[in-house]
Chain A
Amino acid sequence: MADLFVLALAIALPFLAAVFAPLLYRLLGETVGYVGAVVAAVCFALLLTQVGAEGTVSTPWIPSMDVAFRFTVDAFGLLFALLASGIGILIFAYAREYMHGKPDLGRFYMALLAFMGSILGVALAADLVALFLFWELTSVCSFVLIGYYTDDAESRYSARMAMVITVGGGLCLLVGILLIAVGAESVGLAPFDLAAILANRGAVADAMRAQGVFLPALALVAVAAAAKSAQVPLYVWLPGAMVAPTPVSAFLHSATMVKVGVYALGRLRPLFHGPEWMALVATLGMVTMTVGALLAVLATDIKELLAYSTASHLGLMVAAFGFESHYGAEAGAFHLFNHALFKATLFLVAGIVAHEAGTRAIDDLGGLREDLPITAGITVLAALSMAGIPPFNGFYSKEILFEAAWEAAVHGGGLLWLYPATAVFASVFTVLYSLRFLWLFFGPRPDGLGPVHRAPLGLLAPPAVLAVAVAAVSVVPGVAIDLLVDDAASATAVSHVEIHAGIPTSLSGPVVMSAITIAVGVAAFPFYDRIRASLERVRAATTLVHPTVGYDALLSATDRASGLVGRSVHNGLIRTYVWWVLLSACVLTVAGYATATTGLPTPAVAETPVALVLVLAVAVVAAVAVTTADSHVTGVLTLGILGFMVAIFYILASGADLALTQLVVETLLLLIFLLVLEELPAYYGEIDLLRAARDGALSVAVGATAFVSVLYAAPDGAGAPTPTASFFTNNAIPEGGGANIVNVILTDFRAFDTLGESIVIVLAALSVLVLLTMRDRGETQ
């Protein structure tokens, strides 16, 4: 049975160590790298105790949302977690030597440790929200680590690109998760309980299909995995990530973080299993496998070569998990394991080469076996494994992929034969670039290459340990398979799984595929430079595959749009702002009337005295005159006429208090206006006819909207006074002690309003003082 304490400790320990990493660095200096190795070793040991255990444990996090820290122990999760912590030990030890003398190591180890905790969380999480939590944290750590050399513009560019793509992909995962939760909830499961969802995968999948969210969820999960695991066309961040220090590249960007997407596909494979899954995921993987391999051949830098190769191998794993047959599960899980071993080795080798030879340019390197004999030996094992040459472990898993592709084609026929064909095509290039990497050691030594030092033990030991692991799995694959890999593949499969690893003894389709791959690859290797040159011509002709074109286009498009929003939308002109605000207000209000009413109301027209008509007519004339006034002063005076007419209207409508207020306000306004106008230029400029027409139309619309609103609101004159009105009338004298109802309302019934308005007046007074005091002061002394 899984042990919650052990699992929680294994995940929490790296985070805890990360918190103290800056402090430890201050105390211990660079030795803190070994502390990291110890932490990784403890995690590895803790996880080893769980081998053979099964089950899910949980501790609540947000009970009202049914979100918990659920952890599942099964072979697939353990395989991934053991790989991460095991390789972690070697990476930390290697980093101690490699990062010697580099700045900011506190931050470096903090991020690296937090990353390890996150990746263990991803591997063990059995709750969709918790999985997402750790998934995103790996992206953040990756961002910090890619941007390690913060002064370098390329580092910053690559860090941001990685963040945008992986976290952007995370958004798709989020929506995917939420759609899965919809399905889970409808069959009565806790919405985010991944273990329960997988245990009831048939019911959940059916429910998702019934609700029409199955395909969207599938597509979103695939996009998220593609972003994280560097699939076409989202792979572009991975080569950029190579600006990070080599231990980071080896750990995050080959062995673990980039496998998170693949891992998630493997995890969710049983839920989404079916023809749609294969059509999308297997195709995605195959395309990436091919594009990655081609670009690896084109690479001019050893880390770049390895980066594209990583993308290609990730494509292989994605394709494997995409195939419907049990071979798919086997190839995916087994290659995940094998690739982590040989690719981490090769990255560490690349680090040694760069460190000792002082360059990473492929064309400047060669003949290194003389200077770095042990490294050369290590490279032979790892590179041949990467190439898929028997009897190395990379061959075993790739052979199973060939079986999966072959099986799919035999089963489906027709276009599906493209799968095995593509697999062979891509693998030929895999052989090519693997041999090219090996050639760094065995090819001729270029004249320009300076002296190359022996690698120190601290750098040599970690890849050596990994190479031994590669050799061990190659010679006795059965041990690893029986221990974990077979069961791991079962967790991603819907049918029985049994991995056979070994040299094929009988002729079959997949065996022929392997034979063709190796034969063509080896035969073509002498023409490597010519192949590269012709590929280069293709690349030059098709800018689309150039890594950062899409991302740069996104950046420049958003930049352009941003400039537009800044300049054109917010142009600083009050006129524009007011125009849009008034127009929107009118549209909204009129739309409101239109949706909920039928026709305009016809208010009961009381008898209108002639005086009232006259007053309103004068007001209208004044309003028109304001718009044609030829100077500020005339305009203000005319506006005054309008105001005074309104005051007279109040008198005629028996609103004496209102009229008094209006008169005071009008008089004051007139005075203030005249005082201010002294300071303004005398005339407006001319406005063009179009704008005048537009503004006029809007004015009419505003007036009409207000008019219609008043029409709707006007009492029909038939009803009795409202309860509120009656209450005020009846209680003004007995309760409020005043005969003027308006006054009693202002000072008693609704005195709270008056308090607020008094504060407004205080604030107005303060605002005058502030404006006067601050007018020549500004922000600082």
Chain B
Amino acid sequence: MSLLALAPMLAVLLTGTAALLVRGWPRLQRGVSVLGTLGYAGAVGSLCWQVVSGGAVVYQVGGWRAPFGITLVADALSAFMLALTAIVAVYAVVFSVRFIDDRNQRVYYHPMFQFLLLGATGALLTGDLFNLFVWFEVMLMASYVFVAFYGNAQHTAAAVRYVVLNIIGGVLMLLGIGGLYATTGTLNMADMARVLADPGGVTGAVVGLSALIFVTFALKAGLVPFQFWVPSAYRAAPLPVVAVFAGATKKVGIYAIIRLYFTVFGNADLSVAVPGADAGSSIGFLAPVLVLMGVASILVGGLGAVTRDSLDELFAYSSIGQIGFIAVPIGIAAASTGSLRHLGVLAALVFAFHHAVTKGLLFLSTGVIRDAVGTTRLSRLGGLADSSPAFASVMLVGGLSLVGIPPLAGFFGKLFVFDAASRRFAVAAAGTETTAGAAAILLVLVVGAVLTILYSTRAWMGAFWGGQTEAVVRGRIDPVEVALLSTFAAVVLASGVGFEPIVQFADAAADAALDTDGYVDLVLGGERS
């Protein structure tokens, strides 16, 4: 059973290697890549099933018992993030086969796609801090290549910015990991959580050291002020890969924040005095940081998206803003204890799920437009609804989900995030605290949501309504791509209408994220007794 924890990584590793080996036969390579990704989805699916029905799975790589070797841990939190990664990955790879130029697909596109997934999957599954760094590197290395993939000046420039910022992030992460290893004496996350929870077992320095690592995660997630790379990288990379970037790899940064700061540091025996945070919270330091960064992301991303001409850049800015909607509830969770902490993490997870499928759909839809018209510039688009009403509906579903219209996936993301903020407000209003902070958070969320309406309507109307431009008249929308994406749109709709299993899964994931003792027992339990 424990091998199940390894299965997703094994699936992508084998697929990636096989895709390298058969690169002389392009059709075969595509088949391998698509089937391998489906196999990956299957592996993730059975892992999720096992985790939900039978409990978390732990695999000690090489048979070295924790905390000395490297441990893979598939609990509900990891499984939840893997599930949304798998959904986006399947659509992205199938779409790639249709969308990416045949000749370009042969330039190691498929092997690198699999290695990108491998990095994300490894980061979601590992229970070891240094190993997390390794899979981050794999993920980043593959993404560097994708940003530079098309090889023109614009793509190269974007790649240089991306590489430089992420190398800084990597150095900071190494410094932080080294420091934590030196202070706690372990790299195993469960073991680290155990050491930290020990009364007097640790110095306050871990707060600063963990902040160093936090920078890397924030950089990966694209939170302001670490978002600079996002717009140009998203414009440069192939659109199916951008769907994975926005849908999955950004979420790895979010996952790492939740995993490390809640599961590992959440029970630490530290007294942190931060205004606005519950005194009992050892991660209270993170609360103002995440809230401020989230708020800034919402504003920068939302405002930035309003007038962007090209759809991919518009959605890139939108991603910055939407990640802010994920960071704010995590910040609220960090400031609170008890049920509100749980609600904050749950809200972040539900929103992350929504953003993965919704933004995945929107970036792939942008790909359809690029394929048909040859541009994603709104100034050169118009009247696409006349060419394909079906495609107009598909992208309308994406846009409305982004706005948060019920019963689409995005609505529940919005509902939970606003719920966390409202309850934070209620807590402040009922107590002696000032409500100004909580009210300001609510206000920014509302402003951010209004900005989302502004840019979503502009993007959709600009592309689909109005007179047809010459480029649109000449273009032809690929019905196969539209058919594929209409099933994706159906996923966005179905995950809202049938939200019950998703909220249960997310709830289990939030439980797992906050259950430090359970996590420690899971990983070390057998060995300690």
Contacts and interface: CB of A to CB of B under 8 A. Distances in A.
A756 interface: yes
Contacts of A562: 303-308
B234 to A, nearest CB: 12
A581 B115 contact: no
B491 interface: no
Given A562-B304, A566-B304, A212 B115 contact: no
A565 B300 contact: yes
Contacts, number: 341
A743 to B, nearest CB: 15
Contacts of B306: 558-559, 561-562
A731 B68 CA distance: 11
Nearest to A761: B141
A65 to B, nearest CB: 6
A179 B208 contact: no
Contacts of B229: 577
A5 interface: no
B182 A714 contact: yes
A168 B453 contact: yes
Contacts of B107: 769-770, 773-774
Interface in A570-588: 570, 572, 574, 576-578, 580-582, 584-585, 588
A552 interface: no
Contacts of A774: 104, 107, 148-151
Interface residues of A, number: 112
Interface in A730-781: 731, 748-753, 756-757, 759-760, 762-764, 766-767, 769-771, 773-781
Interface string A556-568: 0011011111100
Interface string A466-492: 000000000000000000000000000
A596 B273 CA distance: 7
B208 A572 contact: no
B231 A172 contact: no
A752 B70 contact: yes
A178 interface: yes
B101 to A, nearest CB: 6
Interface string B369-394: 00000100000000101000100000
B205 A159 contact: no
Contacts of A174: 414-415, 418
B301 to A, nearest CB: 9
A645 B185 CA distance: 29
B507 A759 contact: no
A776 B148 CA distance: 12
Contacts of A760: 134, 137-138, 141
A151 B383 CA distance: 8
Contacts of A372: none
Interface in A207-231: 210-213, 216
B403 A596 contact: no
A759 B304 contact: no
B407 A582 contact: no
A37 B383 CA distance: 30
Nearest to A211: B430
Contacts of A31: none
Nearest to A22: B389
Contacts of B164: 574, 577-578
Nearest to A753: B134
Interface string B503-519: 11001000000000000
Interface stretch (B324-332, B457-465, B477-485): B457-465
A712 B175 CA distance: 12
Contact of B418 (A63, A143, A178, A564): A178
Given A150-B466, A577-B228, A163 B453 contact: yes
A428 B451 CA distance: 40
B496 to A, nearest CB: 10
B304 A712 contact: no
Contacts of B225: 580-581, 584
Given A578-B164, A578-B165, A592 B208 contact: yes
B469 interface: no
Contacts of B289: 588, 591
B186 A722 contact: yes
A64 B504 contact: yes
A117 interface: no
Interface stretch (A130-138, A256-264, A335-343): A130-138
A64 B507 contact: yes
B254 interface: no
Contacts of B304: 562, 565-566, 569-570
A213 B454 contact: no
Contact of B118 (A582, A591, A759, A781): A759
Given A172-B446, A596-B270, A775-B151, A709 B500 contact: no
Contacts of A724: 67-68, 185-187
A749 B203 contact: no
Contacts of A752: 61-62, 69-70, 131, 134
A508 interface: no
Contacts of B414: 174
Contacts of B383: 150-151
Q: Which of A132, A593, A596 has the most CB of B within 10 A?
A: A596
Contacts of B69: 749-750, 752
A596 B142 CA distance: 37
B209 A712 contact: yes
B190 to A, nearest CB: 13
Contacts of B182: 713-715
Interface in A325-358: none
B145 A767 contact: yes
Nearest to B403: A167
A592 B211 contact: yes
Contact of B151 (A210, A722, A776): A776
Interface in B130-178: 130-131, 134-135, 137-138, 141-142, 144-145, 148-152, 157, 160-161, 164-165, 168-169, 172, 175-176, 178
A129 B415 contact: yes
A595 B211 CA distance: 12
B419 interface: yes
Given A171-B446, A172-B446, A752-B62, A585 B101 contact: no
A735 to B, nearest CB: 8
Contacts of A22: 389
Interface in B484-529: 499-500, 503-504, 507
Given A723-B185, A779-B101, A709 B209 contact: yes
Given A167-B405, A774-B107, 4 more contacts: A133-B406, A592-B211, A710-B175, A770-B112
Interface of B: 13, 61-62, 64, 67-70, 101, 103-104, 107-108, 111-112, 115, 118, 122, 130-131, 134-135, 137-138, 141-142, 144-145, 148-152, 157, 160-161, 164-165, 168-169, 172, 175-176, 178-180, 182-183, 185-187, 203-212, 214-215, 219, 225-226, 228-229, 231-232, 270-274, 285, 289, 300, 303-308, 317, 374, 383, 385, 389, 400, 403, 405-407, 411, 414-415, 418-419, 422-423, 425-426, 429-430, 435, 439, 442, 446, 449-451, 453-454, 457-458, 461, 464-467, 499-500, 503-504, 507
Question: 5 closest A-B pairs (Cβ-Cβ)?
Answer: A212-B429, A596-B204, A722-B185, A592-B208, A774-B151
25 contacts: A129-B406, A150-B383, A150-B464, A164-B453, A171-B449, A175-B418, A213-B429, A216-B425, A566-B308, A577-B165, A577-B229, A588-B215, A592-B210, A596-B206, A713-B209, A724-B68, A724-B187, A749-B69, A750-B70, A752-B62, A752-B134, A753-B70, A756-B135, A763-B142, A777-B104
Interface of A: 22, 61-65, 107, 129, 132-133, 136-137, 140, 143, 147, 150-151, 153, 156, 159-160, 163-164, 167-168, 171-172, 174-175, 178-179, 181-182, 210-213, 216, 555, 558-559, 561-566, 569-570, 572, 574, 576-578, 580-582, 584-585, 588-593, 595-598, 601, 706, 708-710, 712-715, 722-725, 727-728, 731, 748-753, 756-757, 759-760, 762-764, 766-767, 769-771, 773-781
